[in-house]
Structure 1
Amino acid sequence: MNKRLQRGFTLIEVMVTVAIVGILLAVAIPAYSDYVVRGRLSEAFTALGGAQPAAEQYWSNNRTYVGFGAANTFPASTPYFTYALSGESASTYTLTATGAGKMSGFVYTIDQNGTHATTGSPAGWGVNASCWVDHKGGACTN
């Protein structure tokens, strides 16, 4: 009897493995990318949410929002977001977080009434005048 030992993998086994890995990557990479973006968005939400009480404290001390932008409690720019104060007066202000670098296109605001708004976003994310969009399709969780 002539016995042949088989060593290694056949071409079909290798191709099936490559196909399975390709399918998994086609699903996993976009999901992971969206997860990373949502994680970076929390930076803007935290900064704007933290600046609002600071603005109210500034108003309590000065009876105006004018000059709040120069206060030390205003959010500093980061690699992913820049922050700006606009419309500051004795009774109004708007804080804006604008995406930079990999987060460009995202624009979030909060005003003296605590109104959250998404005024700009990349394609597929959507905008909303009453909440901060944090999922594709315009969904908000806050």
Structure 2
Amino acid sequence: MKRHTTGFTLIELMITMAIIAILAAVAIPSYMNYVKRGARSAAEGDMLNMAQTQERYFTNNNTYVAVAAPPTAPLAGFQNYSGGSSAARKYDITVAAGPTGSISTSFTVSATPSNGYSDTTCTTLTLDSTGAKGSAKGNASPCW
């Protein structure tokens, strides 16, 4: 009399688990890199938006505005600013004096990781009133 057993053997289960582990080892770092690039891209969009808003403000007031903390609401005179809320953002956006050393004639927008987020590739992103893009690592190419 022949017995038919159904189910999986231990070796089949071990091989399946090994395949899943290999796939996870490849997929998880790739996904994390994708998330970091997405957060960086959102910060870059907010920085470009802030720079554009600074230029509109300069056109009306003949000066730029320093922003020491990430804005949670539109700043006075910045009716068109549409940056994300600071609670949801992974980067803090600030504006300080730019290449000339005076906020009245130039500005530098900086994006610094915050809210528990870190990015070792591009720690702090910068954009100044001349359009020059950079990062704390000194090379703008992998970051922008």
Q: Same fold (TM over 0.5)?
A: yes
- What SS class does the counterpart of residue 125 from structure 2 fall into? strand
Structure with bigger strand share is 1
Report the equivalent of 1:45.
44
In 2: Cα distance, 1:60 partner to 1:33 partner: 41
Measured on the aligned residues, the alpha-carbon RMSD in Å equals: 2.1
- Compared CA separation, residues 10 and 51, structure 1 to 2 (3 A): same
TM-score of the two chains, using structure 1 as the length reference: 0.77
The correspondence for 1:111, drawn from 103, 125, 128, is: 128
1:72-122 Cα distance to aligned partner (Å, 9 max, x none): 338463441112111152211111111011236621111110111111xxx
Report which stretch shifted further, 100-109 or 20-29.
100-109
Runs (4+) off by over 2 Å: 67-79, 103-106
| 1:1-142 paired onto structure 2 within 5 Å | 2-65=1-64, 67=65, 69=67, 70-71=75-76, 72=78, 73=81, 75=83, 77-79=86-88, 80-87=90-97, 88-100=102-114, 101-103=116-118, 106-119=123-136, 127-129=137-139, 131=140, 139-140=142-143, 142=144
Indicate the structure whose relative CO is greater, using CA pairs within 8 Å and at least 6 residues apart: 2
Structure with bigger helix share is 1
Aligned residues: 125
In 2: Cα distance, 1:48 partner to 1:99 partner: 13
